[in-house]
Amino acid sequence: MKVYANQLVETLKQKSLRIFVVSGDEPLLVQESCDLVRRGLKAQGFVERDLFYAESGFDWSGLLYSSNSMSLFAEKKLIEVRLPTGKPGDAGGKVLTELVSSLSEDNALLLVLPRADQSTQRTKWFKSVEAAAGFVQVWPIEAKELPRWLENRFRQAGLKVTRDALRAMAQRTEGNLLASVQEIERLKLIVGEREVNVDDVSAGVADSARYDVFKLIDAGLAGDINRCVRMTTGLKAEGVEPLFIVNMLVREIRSIESIKTAINQNQNQNRGAGQREVFKKARVWDKRVPLVTKCLDRHDSRSLQEMLLQLGSVDRTVKGLESGDPWRKLQDVVFRLAGLKQFSRVGAL
């Protein structure tokens, strides 16, 4: 049973579930969802808690022992399993399947793992667990959703905030929700009851944004030049290896080039239906279709091929076979992907 994170409180009130799976890559949101599950189950009498970290070499028999042993301090017990890899292996899968099928009414189970991809969700063990569980998928907060999320957090803290302050906070804490929450709590101590403005954020909020290569690629596909500047600068400052970014960009641009070619070949078909079929075959997630479509409208096959050649130049520069600054060359490619053919170096690397 799939449970949306914002419906978790209501689901727990129903008292019909004793098994939960919380999955996601955003630590703060995963932790908060787990806290809600623990509080909800505690209210139902599951007071004692056995916590297991299923890392390499973990003895899975301990789970069955915990399930079969009586609680020492309470009538009911929560068994919490944290699975850092998201893959229990054959032995772990069998134990989890057995645990779920034989779980007594005096026990509850909370399984915490990273984002469960489609291959994980298709495994026998996961299907067995999900069939009896509330499956909470925790999704990251997208950049365009971050200001609204921050506004809700300010409201929960009893603070009012200006739009400019929200935008500044979003830029400084993107990809680091824990830092966002900490900064809001700090601002609450500083500003008191007055409205938080952009000067408060600029003066006091540290630049703790964290970026990843995949968000950089999405910013390029979306044509968001300002985010491309911030993210390439941030990735360089974090010491990310430029060749890794090159490899990811090459993979993405080749995929888009193949989609472009397939669409051109199917141009005599109904355009909308033809594109949907091409996207499906290329395994483009529904959520990314608008981004890829923007990029397809912006570039022709020649432009995409030229960007691949530019990335080859970045590769050779990193390896010392060509002169120049690899990060500047890399940023040029990202800018071009975003649709900027001529640009000023102001604000760039």
Q: Which residues is 23 bridged to in the sheet?
A: 113, 137
What integer best gives the mean pLDDT of the chain?
A: 87
Nearest to 25 by CA among 105, 84, 102, 98: 84
Helix ranges restricted to H, the chain? 8-13, 27-43, 61-68, 89-102, 118-121, 124-132, 146-156, 163-173, 177-191, 198-204, 213-222, 225-237, 242-265, 271-281, 289-298, 301-318, 326-337
Whether residue 119 sits in one domain with residue 65: yes
For the stretch 36-54, pLDDT in tens is 999 999 988 898 888 999 8
More confident residue, 134 or 264: 134
Across the range 1-10, mean pLDDT stands at 81
Hunting for tokens 């594109």 — which residue is that? 275
Which one of 204, 222, 253 terminates a domain?
A: 204
Across the range 175-198, mean pLDDT stands at 88
Kind and range of the H or E run holding 342: none
| pLDDT exceeds cutoff 90 at 9 | no
pLDDT at 271 (0 to 100): 52
Give the torsion sign (CA, 275, 281, 282, 286): positive
- The enclosing domain of 183 has a CATH number of 1.10.8.60
Residue 221: domain span: 213-337
Q: How far is the CA of 214 from the CAs of 163, 231, 244, 291, 348, in angstroms?
A: 27, 10, 11, 12, 19
Q: Which residues is 82 bridged to in the sheet?
A: 53, 112
For the stretch 73-119, pLDDT in tens is 657 899 999 999 999 999 999 999 999 988 888 899 999 999 988 88
Domains of the chain: total? 3
Whether residue 111 sits in one domain with residue 85: yes
The answer to whether position 343 is within a domain reads no
Rounded to whole angstroms, how far apart are CA atoms 332 and 340?
9
The answer to whether position 225 is within a domain reads yes
pLDDT at 343 (0 to 100): 53
Whether residue 20 sits in one domain with residue 126: yes
pLDDT at 78 (0 to 100): 92
Whether residue 70 sits in one domain with residue 114: yes
Across the range 316-331, mean pLDDT stands at 92
pTM above 0.85, yes or no: no
For the stretch 247-292, pLDDT in tens is 999 999 999 999 988 888 776 555 555 677 888 888 887 778 888 9
Given pLDDT bands bounded at 50, 70 and 90, which one contains residue 348? low
